[in-house]
Amino acid sequence: GTEITFTQHGKQLVTKISGQQVGLLTSPSLSKALWDIYAGPDPVSPEAKASFATTLASVIKD
């Protein structure tokens, strides 16, 4: 499948698809809204949110 990644660098949110940067958001409000879409209380994809949580937990644990 296609991998989409979001990386927060300070106030910038970088979007990559299959390793290629396709977007850069510099608005903190827009970045927060995008995070809420994927990781908020009513995510567009519960599976993506669960995967994010699992990955984050493994990074913190290591």
Give the pLDDT confidence of 7-56 residue by residue, as tens digits. Answer: 988 889 999 999 999 999 999 999 989 889 988 999 999 998 898 888 88
Task: State which residues form the domain around 15.
Answer: 4-61
As for how many domains the chain has, the answer is: 1
Q: What is residue 52's predicted lDDT score, i.e. its pLDDT?
A: 81
Whether 12 and 26 have beta carbons less than 8 Å apart is answered as yes
Alpha-carbon distance 34 to 26, whole Å? 12
Q: What is residue 15's predicted lDDT score, i.e. its pLDDT?
A: 93
**Percent over 90 (pLDDT), the chain:** 44
Q: What is residue 18's predicted lDDT score, i.e. its pLDDT?
A: 95
Q: What is residue 53's predicted lDDT score, i.e. its pLDDT?
A: 84
